[in-house]
Amino acid sequence: MDSLTVGGKTKKALLYAMLLLCLFLPLLNHFGLQLFYALEIDGNVAYKKIAPFVVNVIEFFNAVAVVSSCAIVVYPVLHGTMRDTKPLLILGSVCTAVMQLLPLGVAYFSLTDNLFSLNVKILLLNVLLNTVIFLLLFLAVFAIAAIVRVRWGLSEKNKGIPVGAPIGNRIFSLKNASLRTLLFSALLYFCVALAQAIPATAADFSEYGLPMNMNELVYIIDPYVTAILYFLIGYFVMVGLFAFFDRAAEKDAATE
């Protein structure tokens, strides 16, 4: 099979992964776990100890959905043609927008009519802002993959190494186009997390000054530690997906 062709089994794997991880997972996460949290756990002293854990699980699944959409659209960019990539790019953009709309649905079902009406403008503004941010992130990752593909073919150092080479057992390697692209994509996701954390930290410093004890220090650095963790988690999730797609590509090659 041509290294720049995405076969039938690989296309199915990409489509199923997009639907499962970028549509069904966010739906279950928001209208299952997050709605349950809003209705039963939030503000309930009986669940005080597990509330932070549940919040972290919700955020983890949100992050998995976002990085999965990035990995799924990157794969055909490096291994196929624009014809292979276009449907996933459109579907991924739709799924990304839907992900950001889901919190509005959770708020509708978890808030009283009066409270929802009072906060609807803020909720809509937040949804719009997040949709723009994550669509730009999604498209930026697509652009990174396209740039890596073009530059890979022009570089003398990469002669003899196809841009669609499987990742194999490697985890970190700038000599593999896929891993290089995933690393840059994870770094971009990390930068988005930092961009969201820095203004909040600046506002805290402006209002309260420097941290005066360990609890305040932990509160300040927590978003940055979380950003680093999600950078690592996001990278490994994307590498795992690429390994799964590579196995599907091997099956396509074996059937030719």
pLDDT tens string, the chain, 256 residues long: the values are 344 566 788 888 999 999 999 999 999 999 999 999 988 888 888 888 888 889 889 989 988 998 998 899 888 888 877 777 788 888 888 888 888 888 888 888 887 777 777 777 888 888 888 888 888 888 888 898 888 888 876 666 665 566 767 787 778 877 888 888 999 999 988 888 888 888 888 888 887 787 788 887 888 888 898 889 989 999 999 999 999 998 888 887 777 6
Q: Looking at the domain assignment, is residue 13 inside a domain? A: yes
**pLDDT reported for residue 45:** 85
Domain with 18, as residue range(s), is 8-255
Residue 86's alpha-carbon distances to 7, 11, 73, 139, 232, in angstroms, are: 15, 12, 9, 12, 28
Q: Is residue 1 part of a domain?
A: no
| Nearest-10 Cα torsion for 149, 151, 155, 158 | -20
**Does the residue 46 lie in any domain?**
yes
CA 86/CA 146 separation, integer angstroms = 13
pLDDT at 155: 66
Specify the length of the chain in residues: 256
Domains in the chain: how many in total? 1
pLDDT score for 131: 84
The answer to the question of residue 3 being in a domain is no
Residue 50 counted as domain residue: yes
CA distance 38 to 19: 26
Whole-number pLDDT of residue 148? 86
Among 34, 81, 5, which Cα is nearest to 253's?
5
Which residues neighbour 232 within 8 Å (Cβ) at sequence distance 6 or greater? 186
Instruction: Let me know if residue 92 belongs to a domain.
Output: yes
Residue 2 is assigned to a structural domain of this protein = no
